[in-house]
Amino acid sequence: MTDNIVTSVTRFLTPELIGKLASAANLDRNIGQRATAAIVPAILSGLANVAGTPAGPRQLASAVAQQPSDMLGNIVSSLTGSAPQTAAKGMDVLSTLLGGGALGLLTSTLSKFLAVGEAPTRSLMGLLTPLIMGVLGQQQKATGLDANGLARMLTQQKEEITDAMPSGLTSLLESSGLYQRISSPSVTVPPVYDTARGSTAQRMAGNWATARTWPYWVLPLLALAGLLWYLLDRGGEPVRTANPPNVAAPISFLAKAPNDWISASDSDYTNQAVYNRSGESLGTIKGLLKGPDGKVAAAVINVSRVLGIGEKDVAVPFAALKAEQLASGRRIVLDITKDGLQSAPAFQR
């Protein structure tokens, strides 16, 4: 029986080694600790997806076999004077296994999640890769696994690898298109950002890579289905969402929640700032409200008036929130002016 691969890697990451890794990557020790905890499972998650591709087992076994047999014993000494070369070799290994496009997505996503530059992120990823490959080689030898067995070990531990990721990282990696890029390197998968949980339109976007093989007449029907979904809110009342570009849609504010609604939270939205299309900060999402069907129906936004005086909560339909991806990261947008939200009726709990 093989050990948990994340745990096996973590055993080597002593405080002394993490400090040396952080220093070699030009990171503060505390940031290095947090970054290492995110990068290790993220790389393993990418490798587990590689293992599930037709050529993955052979590529993975080949990369593991090319690592020096004494890598784990000399990991500390490899950081003395030759850290840049070690990092470069590690990134070359990842590029070979994941593909250049997928590696770029992984690097940028980790950089945004950790709020550090891509250069130190790449450096730390490159330094950690030989350690990860060395542990995989150790596991392979200890259990006598062939290439397919090694790949199967990784794919069978996908759930454990996902559980080891810091909160919020899994959803970022999924929405980045990383896993689709690994599975189909030639397909460019646009990022999908959830603005109405489980909506038909979002599922259509998430399956864009496979939609190319569908009959062309199916796509207009699915688009129409998505439009019809947005024209009805969860209670069956019409919601006005069809508006000319850049024109704020009328928003039905909620003064009080029905008795059968409950408070909820979601790390993708709770405590996140909200902006309008002009880039003005409108407030912060204080929490979410779920209807009796268990679906998120509204978002409660904490709004400050002029000079921060007169704070109040405003509740808006959850479907009115949109998630946009900018170069600086993900941003939640509400199509309304700042004055319009400040003058909205206060939400009474």
Residue type, 125: M
Instruction: Quick: pLDDT tens for 210-247.
Output: 444 445 455 666 666 666 655 554 444 444 444 444 44
Cα dihedral 78, 79, 84, 86, rounded to 10, equals 30
Domains assigned to the chain = 5-183 (no CATH), 200-230 (no CATH), 262-342 (2.30.30.240)
3-class secondary-structure state, position 70: coil
> Which of 26, 134, 15 has the alpha carbon at shortest distance from 84?
26
Q: Encoding tokens for residue 266?
A: 């979601």
Distances (CA, A) of 86 to 49, 71, 179: 24, 11, 26
Instruction: Quick: pLDDT tens for 70-120.
Output: 666 666 566 666 788 888 888 999 999 998 889 999 999 999 999 989 999
pLDDT of residue 338: 82
Q: How far apart are CA 135 and CA 141, in angstroms?
A: 10
Q: Are 201 and 226 in contact (CB under 8 A)?
A: yes
Per-residue pLDDT, averaged over 20-26, amounts to 89
Residue type, 132: I
Q: Tokens 């290439």 label which residue?
A: 147
Instruction: Quick: pLDDT tens for 315-331.
Output: 999 989 998 887 777 88
Instruction: Quick: pLDDT tens for 109-161.
Output: 999 999 989 999 999 999 999 889 988 988 888 889 999 999 999 999 999 99
Q: How far apart are CA 258 and CA 141, in angstroms?
A: 61
Predicted TM-score (pTM) above 0.85: no
